Amino acid sequence: MRILVTGGAGYVGGFTARWLQKAGHEITVLDDLSSGHRAAVEFGTLVVGDVGDAQTVRKLLADCRAEAVIHFAASVQVGESVEQPSLYWRNNVANTLTLLEGMIEAGIRRFVFSSSAATYGPSDSETLREDAPTDPQSPYGATKLTIERIAHDFARAYGLGFAALRYFNACGASPDGAHGEDHSPESHLIPRLLRASLEGGEKFRLFGDDWSTADGSCVRDYVHVDDLAAAHQATLLACRDGQGRVYNVGTGRGHSVLEVIRSVERVTGSPVPCETAPRREGDVARLVACPDRLRQELAWEPAWRDLDSMVETAWAWHQRHPDGYGD
Ligand SMILES: NC(=O)c1ccc[n+]([C@@H]2O[C@H](COP(=O)([O-])OP(=O)(O)OC[C@H]3O[C@@H](n4cnc5c(N)ncnc54)[C@H](O)[C@@H]3O)[C@@H](O)[C@H]2O)c1
């Protein structure tokens, strides 16, 4: 399939683009490099541009004769979204609308996009199914839920066939060490812990140790980017005109922050210096997926289940690329 991948110079998008190209698809990446890296686009063609620019989108969809769009491009920092909601509503919602309008105009109906577990509200359930109540705790989560609603409306009115993938916590790097995580600032737990474990690394700040969890730290579901890439391929092929489906993408297993710290210490062989800080606005105690829908409907299974193995891939990337992509 000829696929336009927005945000394909970023972490999950770059990884998935590489994975899809290897699976035989023809990839064109649209990325404004606001947080992505040229070097992350090893496969396919990179066009530097903004998803919110209607002319760029229209021309590109025609030039690459796209049959489908996978949409990763977004502003992605929960904390920043609380401070600058305008940026998030503009980049995530308004720009996605421009992309979707361009797709419909060009007759392209297949759409897979990166939603998030941040669409769910606080819950006492061990795991969350897709029909759990949504109640985003941050503008970031609210923008993702809004895009889901827009996609549903476009399915009904214009025949869009889409899958919204609610990722839990993406983690890890390619086992060959070629592609990994390089955000600036880095807000994701595993890379922050890996940096803290290095000699002279900044102390890790544990945001709250009084959550209602077994050890008082937040519990999350860590899913390897390899498994996320496979989920994109499976859902893309399953898209049907006029139908939309929401899928959780997680392993179904939760790990507390303290457990992840211990895993990083085992993998690196170094202690992680920590200090406790107040809870962060927008956080919830526990976010763990029930991935049964993806499993039952599309036979997706996470190949990566062991936390230490996932951390090992991230550690291998950080050792080979101490300055990330170096740009
Ligand atoms: N990483 C996670 O754990 C996680 C969890 C849930 C959801 N998500 C979602 O997955 C997607 C990818 O996340 P990521 O961690 O790879 O983020 P990332 O920041 O690494 O990648 C986002 C990419 O989009 C590009 N971009 C942003 N705005 C753009 C615009 N207007 N036009 C063109 N390009 C633009 C950036 O340059 C970057 O390359 C995002 O939509 C994010 O919200 C990620």
For 286-315, what is each residue's pLDDT tens digit?
Answer: 999 999 999 999 999 999 999 999 999 999
Low-confidence ranges of the chain (pLDDT < 70): none
Please provide residue 62's backbone torsions phi and psi, each rounded to the nearest 5 degrees.
-75, -45
- Bridging pattern class, strands 286-287 and 219-220: parallel
Ligand 1 centroid to residue 232 C-alpha, Å: 15
Euclidean distance between CA atoms 265 and 261, whole angstroms? 6
Token look-up 């592609």 returns 179
Q: What is the DSSP-derived secondary structure letter of residue 188?
A: -
Q: Name residues whose C-beta falls within 8 Å of residue 135's C-beta, 6 or more positions apart in sequence.
A: 120, 121, 122
Is 9 near ligand 1, meaning CB less than 6 Å away? yes
The residue count for the chain = 327
Is 287 near ligand 1, meaning CB less than 6 Å away? no
Euclidean distance between CA atoms 287 and 301, whole angstroms? 19
Q: How far, rounded to the nearest angstrom, does the alpha carbon of residue 317 sit from its chain's CA centroid?
A: 18
Which residue has the CA at smallest separation from atom 12 of ligand 1? 72
Query: Where in the sequence numbering do the catalytic residues fall?
Result: 140
At 215 the pLDDT is 96
Q: Where are the domains of the chain?
A: 2-171+222-249
C-alpha distances in Å from residue 28, one per residue of 14, 22, 133, 228, 303: 11, 14, 36, 19, 27
Q: Name residues whose C-beta falls within 8 Å of residue 191's C-beta, 6 or more positions apart in sequence.
A: 181, 183, 314, 318
Nearest to 171 by CA among 160, 163, 162, 180: 180
At 282 the pLDDT is 74
Are the CB atoms for 220 and 182 separated by under 8 Å? Answer: no
Candidate from 50, 72, 116 with most ligand 1 atoms within 8 A of CB, to mutate = 72
At 123 the pLDDT is 87
At 202 the pLDDT is 87
Ligand 1 centroid to residue 29 C-alpha, Å: 13
Euclidean distance between CA atoms 172 and 229, whole angstroms? 12
At 124 the pLDDT is 82
Which pTM was predicted? Answer: 0.97
Ligand 1 centroid to residue 17 C-alpha, Å: 13
For 249-273, what is each residue's pLDDT tens digit?
Answer: 999 999 999 999 999 999 999 999 9
For 44-66, what is each residue's pLDDT tens digit?
Answer: 899 999 999 999 999 999 999 99
Ligand 1 centroid to residue 225 C-alpha, Å: 13
Domain 2-171+222-249 class, CATH top level = alpha beta
Rounded to 5°, angle at Cα 171 from 281 and 285: 30
Euclidean distance between CA atoms 38 and 31, whole angstroms? 9
